[in-house]
Amino acid sequence: MAGESVTLIGFWGSPFVLRVKWALELKGIQYQYVEEDLSNKSAMLLQYNPVYKKVPVLVHEGKPLAESLVILEYIDETWKQNPLLPQDPYEKAKARFWSGFVDEKNTCYRVLFVPLVTHSTFLILRVMATFSKGGEEQQKAAQEARENLKTLEGGIEGKRYFGGEKIGFADIAIGWLGYWVQIVEEIVGINLIDKELMAKLDAWFNDFLEHPVIRESMPPRDKLLNHNTAFHKVLTSSST
């Protein structure tokens, strides 16, 4: 579809932006990338995502889209080459389920009936809790995060990727976590991905992160480590 204008507004350190980048790259879609300074948000960002004022935002022929998983579905429906989601409705549901398991927005689907948000069964919240808390709370959060990672491993079902032989929707939605968890582990000094007990998960993360398209877009490790170390200081100093 030559001549179509596709712009991705992003931030180098955001895994949610990375999801969208990977989808565009895997489908060979030409796009313009605009780096956003999150401490000084542009008028363009505020205009295109007035509800959340966050990245990623995809602009396709002047029409803006926000929320990374919503954007992924749009990309898959608009550009049919190299499909990300499977055709079968049940397999689709499964891919969406695992993607949701690792998505922050899912915190609230269950807020009504879950006593405490930190008891959420969603993986990303438990990793965040490990990252932002201290002492006993942190140990507990780490244990729960490990349980969730083990659960996530079950979703791979012995295949090479969540998507089967090729990288698919769920791989893109989840894969960034392998890289980020390593960084969290280094900053807080707690092991989350147990290479023995979660051998399959570890193998999948490594395989995914080694894929040329994936690897090419990854932010440099040192840069990400420094960025998140600073973030960690902010989080832990602000919690009384």
Partner 1 sequence: MAKNDLKLLGGWFSPFALRVQVALNLKGLDYEVVEQTLSPKSELLLKSNPVHKKIPVLLHADHKPICESLIIVEYIDEVWTNAPSILPQKPYDRANARFWLSYIDDKLLTSTKSILMAEDDEAKKPHLEQIEEVLEKMEEVFNKYSEGKAFFGGDTIGLIDIGFGSFMSWIRVTEDIIGIKVLDEARNPSLAQWAQSFAAHPSVKGLLPETPKLTEFAKLLILQWTASAR
**Residues contributing to the site for partner 1 (CB under 8 A):** 51, 60, 63, 65-67, 70-71, 73-74, 77-78, 89-90, 92-93, 96-97, 100-101, 105, 107-113, 115-116, 119, 121, 151
Choose between 119 and 221: whose C-beta lies nearer to partner 1. Answer: 119
Our CB check for partner 1 shows the closer of 50 and 134 to be 50
Closest to 71 measured CA to CA, from 41, 113, 43, 99:
99
CB 227 within 8 A of CB 13: yes
Q: How far is the CB of 12 from partner 1 (least distance, A)?
A: 24
CB 222 to partner 1: min, Å: 33
Cβ proximity to partner 1: between 70 and 197 the closer is: 70
| Shortest reach from residue 58's CB to partner 1, in Å | 9
| Per-residue CA distances from 75 to 79, 134, 178 (Å) | 6, 40, 24
Judged by CB, which is closer to partner 1: 98, or 204?
98
Cα maximum dimension of the chain: 56
Cβ closest to partner 1, residue 36 vs residue 73 = 73
- Number of residues assigned to the chain: 240
Task: Tell me the closest approach of the beta carbon of residue 195 to partner 1, in angstroms.
Answer: 23
Burial 27-62 (b: 16+ CB within 10 A, else e): bebebeeeebeeeeeeeebeebbeeeebbbbbbbee
Two tokens, residue 240: 């009384």
Pairing of strands 57-60, 63-66: antiparallel
Neighbours of 124 (CB within 10 A): 21
CB of 233 to partner 1, least distance (A): 27
CB of residue 157 to partner 1, shortest distance in Å: 11
C-beta closer to partner 1: residue 43 or 112: 112
Radius of gyration of the chain (CA): 18
